[in-house]
Amino acid sequence: MCGIAGILNKNNEGVTEDLILMLSCMHNRGPDGVAIQVGQNKANSLESSESSSPYIDGRFGLGHVRLAIVGGQLGRQPFTSCDGRLTLGHNGEIYNYKQIRNSLKLQHHFVSTSDSEVILHLLEEKLAQSATLVEALTKMAKVLDGVYSIAVKDHKTGEIALIRDLLGVRQLYYSEDLQQVTFASEQKAIWLLGGNKSVRRVMPGHAVIISNKGALREYRIAEPPRALNPNKKKFRYNTLEEALTAYKRALVLAMKKRTQGLDRIGIIFSGGIDSVLVAWLAKDMVKEVICYNAGTLDSSDILFADKVAKDLQLTLKVNVITKRSTQEMLPKIIHAIEERDAVQVEVALPIYSAMALAKKDHVKVVISGQGVDEIFGGYPWYPRVVETEGYASLRAHMIEDLFLLYKETLEREDKTTMAHGIEMREPYLDKQIIRTAFDINPKLNIIGPNDLLGKRVHRILANQLGIPKEIAYRNKSAAQHGSGIHFIIDEMARENNFDENRISSGYLRELEKRELLGSSQRYGFKYGNKELWLTSPHIQMYLDRIFESVFGKSSTIIDTSDEEDLLTSKIIKKI
């Protein structure tokens, strides 16, 4: 995992100073190295003054901070292609890079064992076979198995491409004004340059092409698998035995991909079956597995996680959260996730706290249980969807939830773990697991409208693999409630004079205009207790003030207009 930053100046002015400034605020994403390529220079490390030629500033620059997991010290980026045409920076992991490398090694000169360099030479190969950069990127996306955000400069045409994987597991942002186009792995790197910049996302499965003059166009380069057809009536797996066999095969392979070459790995461990199952599998694949949890002293998550870890003989480390530690962490968390939304902040806090322990243990990779509810039907409102609208509607909602994970969960968790220089990997979002899950008849996962547990195939497999039934079938609370965080922040808000009496009708109208994040807020409340999912206005106002103290009132949050939701809607309709 790493961080990318780049600038194209429209007025032919040098960009080096601004580029270094952008990289400076993302050091946490790349503690193992930092380098830039500007103008006609080769990539230069900023940690060394060694240079074989005079340094020339230029109107385009690409910078990279690196967390070294694959490739060692020779994996420093940006990389330049064999023919000098392409310069590339990558954030993420490519799990089939060894196979791709073997197919390219006779035609290309590799200077490292990095998975990122493999992307460069693969694109070089596809570009030679294509009429346009977009066509080459589309061909490349079909080959890559992994998660990525990529920035690449085509020196022949002057085009710059910003690319993001299909689900948006790794993020990339960009901004344009009269002077320049800027892009980075985190918004704060763009905000740091001032000018009240409005920041946008590179959308999942898309490429943003920036012309040599700074004009921007967006293209879809990656299509969802056919298994995700919301109108599907015939399923590949219609018996429990078929579903379990296929799921076990896909899950074991996904875990092997994400643990290969590692001697130590961390697990974001809540005690719920999703994190328990990956921990259970990881202990037979990795020499040392450490589970991490955080919450208030008497919170249900800590108590249950401790019991589960002892029962399964897993190593568990717990960071107990207090009101004092929360006061210290809140500004840091808001700075890390670049977000003020109360649910986002409350969910991030226990993970942020747990990762502080992982950092002390020098853990570089953690495994998350993210994605199971969306692909196996685990949310408590899903059975009500079945009851009122049927399984076809449920399937459409599950697909919608999956393709909105990028902004509802994945960006937050990437930034939360990377604030400690730790990479998060999500085996349940492996493309083969997703295909398998959506090839399973949904009636096997949710057995009618009275099924309060859901994700039955997932739970049964866990039980078959040796996890006791009482653990596999536990119904877990939402993270902010199970960890006890919500109640601490509520108390803190009131102590700082943010209560119901302070909320004006104008502020409530402002809140109504804000985007609802998470399927619970978007539509889940229709099938359950709406009050459970509503953000308390006084808590939100308190967090708004902290956000302003961290970033200032002029900082512009990502453009979350209907355009992004329309793109997701188009995905669902198309497949």
Catalytic residues: 2
What CA–CA distances, in Å, run from 201 to 162, 198, 477?
Answer: 10, 10, 31
Long-range contacts: 474-481, Cβ < 8 Å, 24+? 474/271, 474/272, 474/273, 474/304, 475/380, 476/270, 476/271, 476/272, 476/273, 476/301, 477/300, 477/301, 478/347, 478/520, 479/270, 479/301, 479/346, 479/347, 479/350, 480/343, 480/346, 480/347, 480/349
Listed in sequence order, the DSSP H helices in 56-152 are 97-104, 115-128, 133-143
What is the C-alpha separation between 32 and 65, in angstroms, rounded?
A: 7
Strand partners, 210: 160, 216
Instruction: Please state, in angstroms and rounded to a whole number, the distance separating the CA atoms of residues 432 and 219.
Output: 24
CA distance 479 to 348: 9
Residue 404 DSSP code = T
Q: Say which residue the tokens 């018996």 belong to.
A: 239
Q: At what angle do helices 431-438 and 240-259 cross, to 10 degrees?
A: 170
Count of other CB atoms within 10 angstroms of residue 148: 21
